């Protein structure tokens, strides 16, 4: 289906001038009278109390970190504390009018934002809702210690609950929001709309757009706020997240009923510093962060700078911007000016800024200024303000003390396997919502489905091998699994580069464009970080997502999103979140050094990812089905070498119906008795060819086992085979150094030491760049390499003349040369 928007030469060559509109800077002009009529006395006092509460929360942490004691309570906090003293007004202003349906994402410096949003949520929720949250959240584990001996109101209890959960999380206690597995920089509490905070600078910049996408696609209420620092605007993934959020298609191509532009507000907590680098005048050139909006879209992201040293202009801006977002006019950029009076962390000597500067900001302190405003306007007396301050400070202190008490607030036991238990959620979810999945046609009528119907799903047909054109292949298998789940789970979406119209970079999605509306299958910008990051945001909000990276070599562009985000949030949430995201990554060939590398080892090394690599149609369908029924992040490698391979192993053919193959189960592809060859990826076919030659020329019977997955991995069938044969060769297309097979070889050595005639031998690609298509035989393992290695290091083959160097001496030489 071609694009409905036509690019016309006359139009794009017409002479004109691009005009920018003015970007407001501190345009808030409300008079005292106007302010007084905009808020009730109760609201003014709540703002005041929130400001004081955050200041006290952070002050206690600062004292504890620097002196080890606060008001007689001694405590040694080993972890980080990136405090936001000075930034309270910006946080309170941000959170004031947000409801629990509005989700915030943040940075390492998010205590203030968390508290402000929590305080606001407690005001927005009624007593019944609060009780329900407190009692059900982790079966009351946070509530129990705070309700003991407390006779106050439900809202008062909720305040205690929330502050205690935050402190406990920071102090790594079982009673923290995330059982202490998140900690200071990652703490969050989803029932109040507080979503993951990220210790990677700008980390939320690519994730929050996925959360906003979830709201649009699934017609959920509320907006998403991405709170990030000024220095994070130097991070590529933030720019990618903005680009992803500003795509024209939301308003021009997607169904209007979805609501238009992504409801996301990038809120820059602009304190003018990274750690020591000054973003105004030194490390950036943009001068006003708000200016960035001008380069993004004609609306300039409705960008604006506001005074974040006063909560009222921030509240005003958030109200106006939220309205825009609900009208579908997002994304929005706010440049909220504030100042961090505290150091970057308590050990910060502030050597990069002058004392005078800090003092000037202290004199202008937002809390002091707000107090003055309330008194001068007659909203409250000194005494009233003091007693409100004292009350919140007392609650904060009490909860701090309780959280430091090891008896009331224990840590996860020293011998606990908890972390291991929450690395994966290992659940099965048929669908994440009960509504009817949006489809453009009955899947049975899909043109691709009809085409596949004419294909042959068995290895042979009428006694002959099946010609490629007629064979049901790996592409078809993945397509079938995807279409099946698209028709069941209404939340499931897929996106990536060239995913629509083009049919997916390698035609796996051909036929899906016809079946799915735009919002369920769409083209992303060329933004790998945003593709992977948005998938993370979408999944952790509760939707199923399939994102695609065109080549494994592009994983570097999404490094943080794959290695730190996709992999870690389930465990950092102590199992509160699931991550039902499949990241399809094709592994190239023929395209040289930057398009043909198998990087399975990189993701295999990262805890928290399931890594699979099926290479037959039967395996691809069964494993994609399993991945799409699960709740864990699965990196699903697909080899371009085998996309059009038919089924060669399963005699009865690839079933038309639904079936699953458990992830992590190796598969014996050829039975044998003398030698075991274990493979991962397309090396399976190399091994099958080698096994054929071994049998035909030397009468050696090789068993060939395809791992199909790198993690998790069941070693039992491998050990069983090795125990039978006593000999094992492992082969893959990844470069030999540090490849998955090295780990498998090391483990098999230990598992089967007594049964092995000799050590396992690994044959991988050379530790080189992948050369041009014409030279690939020099690089990727060939059947002859396997025979050579077997002859040299496992089982001398009678009369055999090796064709390549596979000796141990050669291994040492190559290692010494580093190649
Ligand atoms: C990707 C990455 N690079 C560097 C760091 C180390 N670091 C932590 S905070 C920080 C400065 C961040 O500045 P900004 O985004 O303005 O937030 P602020 O600390 O001012 O709140 C740096 C460099 C990091 N955590 N992540
Ligand atoms: Mg900063």
Tokens 């190559």 -> residue = 814
Cβ proximity of 167 and 90 under 8 Å: no
Strand order in the sheet with 667-670: 667-670, 702-706, 675-680, 728-735, 761-765
Ligand that comes closest to the CA of residue 231:
1
**Stretch 715-739: mean pLDDT, rounded?**
98
Q: Using one digit for the tens of pLDDT, what is the confidence trace for 376-389?
A: 999 999 999 999 99
Mean pLDDT of the chain: 97
Q: What distance in angstroms lies between residue 11's CA and the mean position of ligand 2's atoms? A: 42
- Out of 183, 201, 205, 339, mutate this one to test ligand 1's pocket (max ligand atoms within 8 Å of CB): namely 201
Q: What distance in angstroms lies between residue 362's CA and the mean position of ligand 2's atoms? A: 17
Is the pLDDT assigned to residue 542 strictly greater than 90? Answer: yes
Cβ of 273 closer than 6 Å to ligand 1, yes or no, is yes
List the residue whose alpha carbon is closest to atom 13 of ligand 1: 274
Give the SS3 label for residue 577: coil
DSSP E strands: which ranges in 519-580? 521-523, 545-549
The reported pLDDT for the residue numbered 2 is 60
- Which atom of ligand 1 is nearest the CA belonging to 235? 1
Give the SS3 label for residue 676: strand
The whole-angstrom separation of Cα 138 and Cα 179 is: 9
The gap from C-alpha 762 to its chain's centroid, in whole angstroms, comes to 33
Q: What distance in angstroms lies between residue 80's CA and the mean position of ligand 1's atoms? A: 13
Cβ proximity of 694 and 746 under 8 Å: no
DSSP at 641: T
Is the pLDDT assigned to residue 130 strictly greater than 90? Answer: yes
Is the pLDDT assigned to residue 565 strictly greater than 90? Answer: yes
Ligand that comes closest to the CA of residue 84:
1
Structure tokens at 535: 């998938």
The reported pLDDT for the residue numbered 3 is 65
Instruction: Compute φ and ψ for 582, nearest 5 degrees.
Output: -110, 125
DSSP at 75: -
Ligand that comes closest to the CA of residue 106:
1
Is the pLDDT assigned to residue 192 strictly greater than 90? Answer: yes
Q: What distance in angstroms lies between residue 557's CA and the mean position of ligand 2's atoms? A: 24
DSSP E strands: which ranges in 468-567? 493-496, 521-523, 545-549
Cβ of 275 closer than 6 Å to ligand 1, yes or no, is yes
Cβ of 109 closer than 6 Å to ligand 1, yes or no, is yes
Cβ of 274 closer than 6 Å to ligand 1, yes or no, is yes
Cβ of 392 closer than 6 Å to ligand 1, yes or no, is no
DSSP at 285: S
Q: What distance in angstroms lies between residue 111's CA and the mean position of ligand 2's atoms? A: 15
The reported pLDDT for the residue numbered 1 is 54
- Which atom of ligand 1 is nearest the CA belonging to 202? 15
Q: Which strand (E) or helix (H) includes residue 265?
A: strand 264-270
Tokens 């080890």 -> residue = 68
- Which atom of ligand 1 is nearest the CA belonging to 270? 16
- Which atom of ligand 1 is nearest the CA belonging to 109? 21
Q: Using one digit for the tens of pLDDT, what is the confidence trace for 224-282?
A: 999 999 999 999 999 999 999 999 999 999 999 999 999 999 999 999 999 999 999 99
Cβ proximity of 442 and 515 under 8 Å: no
Q: Using one digit for the tens of pLDDT, what is the confidence trace for 334-372?
A: 999 999 999 999 888 899 999 999 999 999 999 999 999
Cβ of 306 closer than 6 Å to ligand 1, yes or no, is no
Of the candidates 170, 198, 183, the residue with the CA atom closest to the CA atom of residue 107: 198
The whole-angstrom separation of Cα 644 and Cα 338 is: 57
**409: β partners:** none
List the residue whose alpha carbon is closest to atom 5 of ligand 1: 201
**584: β partners:** 548, 636
List the residue whose alpha carbon is closest to atom 14 of ligand 1: 229
Q: Using one digit for the tens of pLDDT, what is the confidence trace for 595-645?
A: 999 999 999 999 999 999 999 999 999 999 999 999 999 999 999 999 999
What residues have CB less than 8 Å from 780, skipping those under 6 apart?
589, 686, 733, 765, 770
The Cα-based distances of 489 to 428, 457, 512, 646 in angstroms read: 12, 26, 15, 28
506: confidence class by pLDDT, cuts 50, 70, 90: very high
The reported pLDDT for the residue numbered 808 is 94
Q: Using one digit for the tens of pLDDT, what is the confidence trace for 140-180?
A: 999 999 999 999 999 999 999 999 999 999 999 999 999 99
**Stretch 795-814: mean pLDDT, rounded?**
96
List the residue whose alpha carbon is closest to atom 22 of ligand 1: 275
- Out of 231, 268, 352, mutate this one to test ligand 1's pocket (max ligand atoms within 8 Å of CB): namely 231
The whole-angstrom separation of Cα 495 and Cα 217 is: 12
Cβ of 793 closer than 6 Å to ligand 1, yes or no, is no
**772: β partners:** 591
Cβ of 231 closer than 6 Å to ligand 1, yes or no, is yes
Give the SS3 label for residue 268: strand
List the residue whose alpha carbon is closest to atom 19 of ligand 1: 274
Q: Using one digit for the tens of pLDDT, what is the confidence trace for 318-329?
A: 999 999 999 999
- Which atom of ligand 1 is nearest the CA belonging to 271? 20
Sign of torsion over alpha carbons 599, 602, 608, 611: positive
Of the candidates 302, 574, 613, 625, the residue with the CA atom closest to the CA atom of residue 417: 574
The whole-angstrom separation of Cα 533 and Cα 241 is: 8
Q: Output helix, strand, coil percentages for the chain, rounded to the nearest 5.
A: 45, 15, 40
- Which atom of ligand 1 is nearest the CA belonging to 279? 16
413: confidence class by pLDDT, cuts 50, 70, 90: confident
**Stretch 513-523: mean pLDDT, rounded?**
97
5: confidence class by pLDDT, cuts 50, 70, 90: confident
Largest CA distance in the chain: 102
Q: What is the CA radius of gyration of the chain?
A: 30
Q: What distance in angstroms lies between residue 279's CA and the mean position of ligand 2's atoms? A: 8
Q: What distance in angstroms lies between residue 24's CA and the mean position of ligand 1's atoms? A: 27
Tokens 């933004």 -> residue = 527
Cβ of 232 closer than 6 Å to ligand 1, yes or no, is yes
Residues acting as catalytic residues: 595
What residues have CB less than 8 Å from 145, skipping those under 6 apart?
164, 175, 402, 408, 409
Q: What distance in angstroms lies between residue 275's CA and the mean position of ligand 2's atoms? A: 7
């Amino acid at each position: 289906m071609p694009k409905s928007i036509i690019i016309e030469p006359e139009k794009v060559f017409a002479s004109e001038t691009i005009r920018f509109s003015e970007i407001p800077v501190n345009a808030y002009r409300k008079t005292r009278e106007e302010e007084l009529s905009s808020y009730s006395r109760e609201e003014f006092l709540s703002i005041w109390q929130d400001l004081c509460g955050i200041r006290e929360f952070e002050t206690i942490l600062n004292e504890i970190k620097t002196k080890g004691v606060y008001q007689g309570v001694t405590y040694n906090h080993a972890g980080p504390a990136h405090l936001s003293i000075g930034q309270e007004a910006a946080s309170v202003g941000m959170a004031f009018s947000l409801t629990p349906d509005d989700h915030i994402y943040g940075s390492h410096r998010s205590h203030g934002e968390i508290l402000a949003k929590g305080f606001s949520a407690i005001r927005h929720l009624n007593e019944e809702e609060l009780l329900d949250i407190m009692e059900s959240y982790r079966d009351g584990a946070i509530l129990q210690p705070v309700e003991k001996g407390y006779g106050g109101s439900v809202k008062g209890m909720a305040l205690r609950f929330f502050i205690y959960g935050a402190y406990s999380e920071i102090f790594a206690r079982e009673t923290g929001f995330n059982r202490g597995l998140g900690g200071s920089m990652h703490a969050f509490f989803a029932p109040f709309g507080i979503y993951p905070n990220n210790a990677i600078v700008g980390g939320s910049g690519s994730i929050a757009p996925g959360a906003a996408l979830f709201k649009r696609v699934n017609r959920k209420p509320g907006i998403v706020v991405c709170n990030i620092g000024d220095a994070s605007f130097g991070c590529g993934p933030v720019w990618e997240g903005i680009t992803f959020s500003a795509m024209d298609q939301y308003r021009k191509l997607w169904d209007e009923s979805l609501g238009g532009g992504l409801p996301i507000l990038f809120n820059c907590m602009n304190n003018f510093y990274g750690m020591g680098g000054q973003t105004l005048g030194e490390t950036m050139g943009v001068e006003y962060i708000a200016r960035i909006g001008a380069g993004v879209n004609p609306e300039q992201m409705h960008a604006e700078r506001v005074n974040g040293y006063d909560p009222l202009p921030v509240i005003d801006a958030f109200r106006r911007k939220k309205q825009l977002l609900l009208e579908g006019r997002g994304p929005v950029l706010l440049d909220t000016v504030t100042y961090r009076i505290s150091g970057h962390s308590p050990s910060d000597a502030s050597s990069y800024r002058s004392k005078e500067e800090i003092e000037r900001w202290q004199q202008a302190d937002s809390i002091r200024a707000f107090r003055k405003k309330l008194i001068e306007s007659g909203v409250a007396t000194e005494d009233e303000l003091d007693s409100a301050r004292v009350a919140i400070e007392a609650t904060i202190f009490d909860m701090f003390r309780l959280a430091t008490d090891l008896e009331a607030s224990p840590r996860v036991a020293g011998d606990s396997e908890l972390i291991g238990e929450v690395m994966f959620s290992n659940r099965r979810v048929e669908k994440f919502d009960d509504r009817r999945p949006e489809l453009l046609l009955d899947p049975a009528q899909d043109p691709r489905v009809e085409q596949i119907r004419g294909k042959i799903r068995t290895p042979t047909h009428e006694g002959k091998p099946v010609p490629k054109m007629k064979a049901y292949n790996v592409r078809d298998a993945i397509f079938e699994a995807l279409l099946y789940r698209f028709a069941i789970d209404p939340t499931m979406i897929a996106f990536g580069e060239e995913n629509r119209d083009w049919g997916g970079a390698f035609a796996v999605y051909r036929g899906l464009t016809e079946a799915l509306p735009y919002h369920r299958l769409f083209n992303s910008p060329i933004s790998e970080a945003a593709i992977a990051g948005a998938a993370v945001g979408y999944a952790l909000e509760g939707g199923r997502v399939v994102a695609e990276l065109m080549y494994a070599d592009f994983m570097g562009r999404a490094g943080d999103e794959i290695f730190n985000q996709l992999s870690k949030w389930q465990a950092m949430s102590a199992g509160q979140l699931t991550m039902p995201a499949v990241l399809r990554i094709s592994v190239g060939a023929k395209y040289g050094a930057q398009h043909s590398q198998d990087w399975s080892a990189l993701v295999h090394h990262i805890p928290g990812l399931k890594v699979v690599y099926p290479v037959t149609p039967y395996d691809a369908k069964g494993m994609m089905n399993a991945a799409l029924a699960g709740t864990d992040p699965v990196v699903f490698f697909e080899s371009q070498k085998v996309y059009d391979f038919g089924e060669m192993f399963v005699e009865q053919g690839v079933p038309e119906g639904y079936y699953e193959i458990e992830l992590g189960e190796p598969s014996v592809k050829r039975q044998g008795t003398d030698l075991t060859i274990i493979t991962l990826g397309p090396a399976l076919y190399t091994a099958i060819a080698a096994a054929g030659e071994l049998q035909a020329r030397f009468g050696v019977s090789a068993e060939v086992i395809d791992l199909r997955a790198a993690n998790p991995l069941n070693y039992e069938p491998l050990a069983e085979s090795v125990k039978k044969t006593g000999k094992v060769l492992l082969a893959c297309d990844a470069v030999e150094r540090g490849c998955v097979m090295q780990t498998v070889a090391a483990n098999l050595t230990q598992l089967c030491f007594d049964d092995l005639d000799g050590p396992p031998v690994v044959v991988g690609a050379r530790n080189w760049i992948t050369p041009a298509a014409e030279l690939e035989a020099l690089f990727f393992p060939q059947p002859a390499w396997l025979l050579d290695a077997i002859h040299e290091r496992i089982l001398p083959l009678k009369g055999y003349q090796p064709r390549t160097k596979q000796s141990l001496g050669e291994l040492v030489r190559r290692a010494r040369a580093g190649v």
